Structure 1
Amino acid sequence: MPDHSPLIQSLRTAVAGAPDDVPLRLHLAELLIAGGHHDEAVAEAAVALQHAPGDPQARELMVRAMGAPEAPQTPPQTPPQSQAPQVLPESQAPQVPQAPPTGFNWQAAEDQVGDVVPPRFVEAPQTPEAPQAADGTGDPGNALAWEVEAPDGVRLADVGGMQDVKDRLEAAFLAPLRNPELRKLYGKSLRGGLLLYGPPGCGKTFIARAVAGELGAGFLSISVNDVLDMWMGNSERNMHEVFATARRQAPCVLFLDELDALGAKRSRTAHSGMRNTVNQLLTELDGIDAGANEGVFVLAATNVPWDVDNALRRPGRLDRTLLVLPPDAPAREAILRYHLRERPVAGIDLRKLAKVTDGLSGADLAHLCEAAAERALLDSARTGTVRMIGMTDLMDAAATIPPSSDPWFASARNVAMFANEGGMYDDLVTYLKKKRKL
């Protein structure tokens, strides 16, 4: 990082303590421009615009930081056609930064990019829209507190790659529920419990939605914020109301996100209210009456299954587990295609990109696409020539993003080696041996 004056360093400390103070941040940007630190000034002006999108001083500072002349005092005239920015492929983009023309016409640039973008991929992306979070306040009196979402058509076929996960779901969970005659013959109840575990950002929630689509069932997603309450007894009541809502809307997939928070080991829980909430969860999983949970399919997800209360893993509750690992090559290709589907890209080799991103989670891949888009955007802003996102941007971004799942595997390795009672984590052991991490 370049050396800064004591004043700039003091202002940075003040901005860190008051990140919402727009005038203070703009003053810091002014000093950075005066000191020749334009890239840092661009970053500060961008944050200021996030807090105050219509601030004229923030806009003027952004233009100055990117090298453009200050905005004229009189209303700018529409530039002639010859001044419209030229859109060039990445290979032909100028290598030497040039100051953008006076009165840069961003609308003309956007119109030109719109004519270039369509022929990006051979096939149209098939990945569905990203799932949205459940809207809930945790108040049982609120009719919208736990709203069951209707089936939205998401199926396991929409999950890119991950064939092993799909096969396990089909064999251990879905096949018995799809065959009512065989289920009746063998006395199989129309209920089930499945625990999804693995590193964060690998699509456990999306898989749960796909299971709901396969069953043609509603989807109800619950997290710890929807259940826990500061008043004694309210958390247990909230847990009961969650299951009552799922029973009324059966068939329904009830998804318990972050199960290690909702069902933490009671032996490690000092607060009696939390222990009572876990007890209530166990009661609801068993069903108050015989057949009470008929048509309610309970799925749960956690990053740390070893912190989940052992009673939740008892047969008849969440007795089946499924390890959800970082996406394989076909899944990575599908995820990259999804996150690049509406961006101006050109010459993207998804197969090559999927090969060099082995080990990255779905969240890591989304961040990679964001970082590549940011590189191209800043380059276009500095040169005044809008260009497409190319393989160079994506490959450079991939080289700077480490797999976020590495710390998780470091912890999971110890569990797999020393706490694999009854073969509970055999799938994890197999994967670690395959990757030579064990």
Structure 2
Amino acid sequence: MSDALIDSLTAAVQARPDDLPLRLHLAELLVAAGRGAEAIGHVAQVLSRDPDNAAARGLMASALASPAETGTAAEPSGPAEAPAPPATPAPPAATPAQPGGVDWTAMEQQFGDVVPPRFARAGDEPEPVAGDADRSFDVERSTVTLADVGGMAEVKKRLEVSFLGPLRNPKLRSLFGKSLRGGLLLYGPPGCGKTFLARAVAGEMGAAFISLSITDVLNMWVGSSERNLHDLFESARGHAPCVLFLDEIDALGHKRSQLHSSAMRTVVNQLLTELDGVQGGNEGVFVLAATNAPWDVDSALRRPGRLDRTVLVLPPDGPARAAVLEYHLRDRPVAGIDLAAVAAATENFSGADLAHLCETAAEYAMRDSIATGEIRMINQADMLAAAREVRPSTDAWFTTARNVAMFANQSGEYDDLAAYLKKRKSR
């Protein structure tokens, strides 16, 4: 067998790793050339994606047997010696009932360090029950409400119209034909309270709350990510009314035109299907998604009927900053703090920045207490010094957002962002 042909096929498989027939053909040539150890990895790749492939199973048996046969033929001649016992017991004869005439259980035990077993069991653990939608997702009951959210008057007004009003007024909802479903995309700089706002909506509605991140969905096995996503929506439907929060939606629903992975494209397609409620009605399921990069979200996710409403969540204004500062100082020893003055010195700070500011001021007071041996309270000087040290983290986001609002707003979807940037520039 020509090594040049095998090398060419190997390069072709590396360029097209999902071409299973090509990979199987390469494995056949490797086995024929007595290179069974190299063929095992390729056949294992085929079996992991197509476990019932009879040709691949037979080829795996040949590949596993190939090294032993080659090693026997290559033994040098010498004095007759009693054959050494094999290092591992020979696999038992295959039963005719098994496809391909191979006992795969015995093969997995003997060559477990070469080919991973197709299925793993933890002792006598029973199989997962089909339809158990809550096996991976925590359904919570939020205790915070919109009253706990400082500022954000425009955001609260939009949430009232989109979600809360229809739920509280069933007769009016019926009169105007408003369904108990909907999708809202929250976007803005990081650390401005998008996740906290979603929890507050669930608490205001008295609804169940399910939070999802990309790590809850993605799985290395083909089809598992789509099933996880379906199970998530089934869990939300089973607990309606329910607020389903999709955090970092730009990672889960990235523009398909920019994705090089076919697996991720199918995940986005599955998300579109679930938002449409094709396999199950979404009545009573309120989808809130959050992102720092709405320009990276696939446009199909934002069409009417899906995440059709968009709300810009901005850094807190002056009164909201004072409320956030008061919240983070409530359990700390403070004296003589002028919240309005500190709020005025923290323009463009996000909620996370303000929390870090309070932490920094506490460090100043604690450091002095350790140095002098006398405990003192956190004072106004500590807060203002921390305000000078901590820089707002939103500046980098607004630099990117300004380019989007100026050059990629032909559809008008970022008009609210453009208006805010114009107002901010005029200050």
The bucket for the TM-score relative to the shorter chain is 0.5 to 0.7
| TM-score normalised by length of structure 1 | 0.66
After superposition, the C-alpha distances for 1:342-391 in whole angstroms (9 at most, x for unaligned) are 11111111111111111100000000011111111111111111111111
Aligned positions of 1:150-169 closer than 5 A = 150-152=141-143, 154-169=144-159
Candidates 318, 333, 337, aligned match of 1:329: 318
Residue 179 of structure 1 corresponds to 169
Q: Pick from 214, 220, 230: which aligns with 1:240?
A: 230
Alignment-derived partner of residue 267 in structure 1: 257
Runs of 4+ in 1 over 3 A off after TM superposition: 140-144
Q: Distance in 2 between matches of 1:171 and 1:426?
A: 20
Provide the TM-score with structure 2 as the length reference: 0.67
Match 2:137 to one of 146, 152, 163: 146
**Counterpart pick for 2:160 among 170, 173, 191:** 170
Alignment of 1:126-137 (within 5 A): none
Deviations 1:216-261 (A, max 9, x none): 2110000001000111111000000000000011110000000000
Q: For 1:407, give the aligned amino acid.
A: A
Residue of structure 1 equivalent to 2:218: 228
Corresponding residue number in structure 2 for 1:283: 273
Q: Deviations over 1:11-69 (max 9, x none)?
A: xxxxxxxxxxxxxxxxxxxxxxxxxxxxxxxxxxxxxxxxxxxxxxxxxxxxxxxxxxx
Is residue 2:405 matched to residue 1:416? Answer: yes
Following superposition, the deviation at residue 142 of structure 1 comes to 9.1
Q: Which range moves more in the overlay, 427-436 or 178-187?
A: 178-187
The correspondence for 2:287, drawn from 276, 293, 298, is 298
The 5 A counterparts of 1:7-406 are 143=134, 145-152=136-143, 154-289=144-279, 292-406=281-395
Structure 1 residues 299-357: Cα deviation after superposition (integer angstroms, max 9, x where no partner): 00000000000000010000000000000111111111111111111111111111111
State the distance in 2 between where 1:350 and 1:167 align: 26
SS of corresponding position for 1:421: coil
Name which of structure 1's ranges 251-260 and 415-424 shifts more when overlaid on structure 2: 415-424
The amino acid across from 2:336 in the alignment is G
Give a deviation string over 1:137-171, Cα, whole Å, max 9, x none: xxx9795521111242x221211112122122223
1:27 alignment partner in structure 2: none
Displacement, 1:427?
A: 0.6
The question of whether the paired residues in 1 share the 8 Å contact of 2:247 and 2:289 is answered with yes
Partner of 1:45: none
1:96 paired residue number: none
Unaligned runs of 5+ in 1: 1-139
- CA deviation profile, 1:91-126 (whole Å, cap 9, x unmatched): xxxxxxxxxxxxxxxxxxxxxxxxxxxxxxxxxxxx
- Quote the Cα distance in structure 2 between the aligned partners of 1:188 and 1:141: 31
Identity of aligned residues (%): 67
2:133–2:234 CA contact under 8 A, matched in 1: no
Query: 2: CA distance between counterparts of 1:276 and 1:198?
Result: 27
**Aligned partners of 2:402 and 2:141: how far apart in 1?**
39
Give 5+ residue unaligned stretches, structure 2: 1-130
Corresponding residue number in structure 1 for 2:35: none
Aligned length: 297
RMSD across aligned C-alpha pairs, in angstroms? 1.7
Equivalents in 2 of 1:375, 1:357: separation in Å?
A: 18
Q: Alpha carbons of 1:325 and 1:350: their partners in 2 closer, same or farther (altered >3 Å)? A: same
